[in-house]
Every structure is written in C-alpha cells, then in structure tokens.
Amino acid sequence: MKSLLLFICLLAVPPLSARDKPNIVFILADDLGYGDLGCYGQEKIKTPRLDQMAREGIRYTSHYSGHNICSPSRCALMTGKHMGHASVTGNGGRLRANDVTISMLLKKAGYRTCMIGKWGLVGRPGHPGSPNQKGFDHFFGFDNQGFAHFYYPEYLWRNDQKVPYPKNHDLRVKGEYKKGAGTYSHDQLTSEAIGWIRENKEGPFFLYLPYCIPHAELTVPEDSLAPYLKLGWKEKPKIVGTGNTGGGGYGSQYKKGYCGQSHPLATYAGMISRMDRSIGKILDLLDELKLSENTLVIFSSDNGPSPEGGQSLKFFNSAGPLSGAKRTWREGGIRVPMIARWKGTIKPGRTSAHPSAFWDFLPTACEIAGIETPAGIDGISYLPDLLGKAEKQKRHEYLYWPGAIRVGRWKLLRFGRDRFALFDLQEDIAEKTNLAAQKPELVSRYRKYFDMARK
C-alpha cells in the first residue's frame, strides 16, 4: 500500500519541463551612445522607462559591443564569438550555414523564438543566414540592414511573406517626409512584439528585438518631435541626398539616400524617447501578464553613436565621459550601455563594473536555460554577476577587437602593425594620456593577444 501511495504521489508531481525555464528578452538599440540615456548621465533626452528599468535591475558600466559597426557586432551577440573567430567581420556579411546561434540552441531546448526588427546580417527569406534559418520560429522586420535605415518602408517581411505599406509610397516632399503621413516602421515592430508575447505567454520564449532607432536617417512622428521643438534648440538643418541608399531598391523614395531634416537635434531626441516609450510598453505587458519574475530583460546598443543623421554628438554628450564614436576603437565606439531587469531575481538598483561583451550573451542565456554551452566560443556567462554572486563570476583574460585589447584596467589600441597606444581606463576613461612609452613592458605583453585571439 505504501509503495502504491508513493507511486501515485510521484505521478502527481510534473517533471521539470521547458515551461519552467525563464523567458529571455534582448532589446537592442542601433547607434545609441553610452551617454544617451538618463541613467548614464544624459541631461537633454528623456528616457524615463529605461531609467526605471535600471532602478529595478542592474546597470553595467563596462559592457562592450562586438564591434564598432553593425553586422559583426550582431554576429558576436548571436554566436558567442569575438572577431578573432566570428564569420562576419564587416558590414554586409552573412552568417554561414554551420554557424550556431543562441536562437538555435534555445529552440532546441524547447523555447519559442522570435526576432523582430533589424537582423543586420543580410539574409533574405530562405537564405541559410536568414533569421528563420538561424533558429527563429517567427521573424518580422528588415532582411537587409541598409533598408532598415529608412523608417517609412514600402514593405517589411513577416517570415517569408512581404507585408506592404502602400501609404509609404512617395512620402517625401522636397527631401522631407509629409507630416502625419505614412506608417512608422518602429511602431509596427513594437506592435508585433507585443502581439507575439501575448500569443506565447505560456513560454518559455526568447524574444530578440533589435530596434533601428536612433540610426540615421533621422525622422520621427510629430507626437515625439513636438516636446523637443518647444525647447528651441539652435538647429543646423541637414540636406537631403547623403548617406545610405539601402541599395537603391527598397521603395522609390530612397534612391537619393537619407531624408533631409530641418531639426536633427529635436528629431534625434524624439526618436530615443519614442524607443524608450516602446520599451516601457513591453515591460508593462510583462507585468500585466505576471511574467516579470520569470523573464530576464536586457537592453543594450550595437555600437557607439554616429552623427551621420545630422545631430551633434557634442550637444548631447552622446558618448558620455568616453572619447570616440562609432567606427573607432576608442571606448566611445565600443563601450555601450547595458541594463538588465529580472524582478525577484536581480537585486534592484545595482551597478556593476564587471567587464563583459556581446559574445558573453550566448553562454549566459544557455546557463539560464539550463543547457550546455557549445565548445569553441569566446564568451563567459555573466549570470553569476547578474545574481549578485561576484565571488563566483569568471573573468576574461582579455577582451579582443581587431583594433583594441582590454586587459583588466588596461586598454591597448593598435594603429598598423607596430604602433600602439596604452591607456589606464581606471584612471583615464577618456583615453587622454598615452602611456605606451612609459610602460613598454605592458605593450609588449598585451600586443601578443592580437595574434592569440585569432588562433
């Protein structure tokens, strides 16, 4: 009788299943600077929801992107490999058929997977490097990164089907968009993400949401622009006809490149605030569905800020205390904001200086999902740091990019084969004082990592 009762009790307890695994949401901005958020010191642009997210979770001060430009940075995020081993090392590259992504690993572990926004790795539906072929059950957004720079596209992709936006045809008048007309793609991405979360709320799910904001071109609907126009900032209009053309084939209105912008400062601020509002909607939805305590949400940016839309990085202090910007190996080109929220698991209001990078996300997500991290990657899980267990957190011997090495407090920049600059980031975060001549032994020691990282 006792054996029978024990057997019945065991049947009544469900085994640990995929449904018990935490959800993971990774939100990525495009060309957002280290200093563009209020919680990182921004004084002109309002980002109340991301600031709240930082108060409810943890804010990282030494987190790095995978590269100083788009495609390779996203490759590092998806594959867990730095540029010494990644298959995409320049813009316009495509993932290889044998590249294993975090979405493929999570899908195999029972997760529903979704990618909405800018893939940035070039892969039309059906291509081996496309989102659907790289582990995402659902894809909505831009298949081509050049096209993703235009916010009123004539179509987007939902898996292998085009979603047309006929109202977005020929919207430009004298280089600028008609006010109040057309469908703003950023809002479509947010709506799709909200709908997908509702449909998959039983979980577990992985949502990768790489927004296009605030990458040029600069344009935003009136309700986000108006509050900043009232401030009367002194503007320098940007002329039409410069910048990326999206290949010249994504709608007739884009053949001359980015739109003109009479108020680039107000527009840039309005775009970031609109993205902040959208992220707030997603966080509110997780609260509404009572998923926040079982969902890790991470926010970051793919590289440093760029002025190509006509805005002034100096006016906004977009790089904060850092020097450099997008396309440089200075801190301003690769050090990016990262905020993580996981209610009930991550202690709120924390700040961490743990040095980490995009290639650390894959092993972190694997550890959260309770699955084995594949061999041959470069990342180290930062889950212990997220959980406040610094004593258990493993650290990198070095962080590598083609033009920079970071080892603890030290940063080595390479200019050509035998020219180097050495900075003490602990004392000189702005990289003003080159110590290479004073500490040749460190230069000699650290320069070897440039070759080691590629073996």
Q: What is the pLDDT of residues 135-167, one digit of tens each?
A: 999 999 998 888 899 999 989 999 999 999 999
Q: CA 162, 166, 172: angle at the middle one, nearest 5?
A: 120
**With 80 as the cut, is the pLDDT of residue 249 above it?**
no
Average pLDDT, the chain: 93
Residue 228 CA to residue 249 CA, distance in Å, equals: 33
Once rounded to an integer, what is the mean pLDDT over residues 340-346?
A: 98
> Residue 454: what pLDDT?
95
The answer to whether residues 112 and 137 touch, using CB atoms and an 8 Å cutoff, is yes
> Residue 247: what pLDDT?
56
Domain residue limits, the chain = 18-397, 403-455
- Domain with residues 18-397, CATH architecture: 3-Layer(aba) Sandwich (3.40)
At position 106, the amino acid (one-letter code) is L
Once rounded to an integer, what is the mean pLDDT over residues 117-129?
A: 87
End-to-end C-alpha distance for the chain, whole angstroms:
64
> Residue 16: what pLDDT?
40
State the pLDDT confidence band at 253, using cuts at 50, 70 and 90: low
Fold of the domain spanning 403-455: Arylsulfatase, C-terminal domain (3.30.1120)
Spell out the residues 6+ positions from residue 184 whose beta carbon is closer than 8 angstroms to its own.
151, 152, 220, 221
This prediction has a pTM of: 0.95
> Residue 254: what pLDDT?
73
Of 123 and 252, the one with more pLDDT: 123
pLDDT tens-place string over residues 2-25: 444 443 443 443 434 566 899 999
**With 90 as the cut, is the pLDDT of residue 80 above it?**
yes
At position 273, the amino acid (one-letter code) is S
State the pLDDT confidence band at 404, using cuts at 50, 70 and 90: very high
Nearest partner of 211 among 261, 275, 164, 131, judged by Cα: 275
pLDDT tens-place string over residues 86-111: 999 999 889 999 999 999 999 999 99
Residue by residue, DSSP assigns 386-422 as HTT-GGG----S-EEETTEEEETTEEEEEETTTEEEE
State the pLDDT confidence band at 304, using cuts at 50, 70 and 90: very high
**With 70 as the cut, is the pLDDT of residue 265 above it?**
yes
Residue 93 CA to residue 10 CA, distance in Å, equals: 52
Of 129 and 241, the one with more pLDDT: 129
Alpha helical stretches, state H, 260-316: 264-288, 313-316
Alpha helical stretches, state H, 289-312: none
Spell out the residues 6+ positions from residue 63 whose beta carbon is closer than 8 angstroms to its own.
300, 335, 336, 337, 338, 355, 356, 357
Residue 331 CA to residue 315 CA, distance in Å, equals: 19
The answer to whether residues 167 and 134 touch, using CB atoms and an 8 Å cutoff, is no
Nearest partner of 270 among 336, 221, 197, 329, judged by Cα: 221
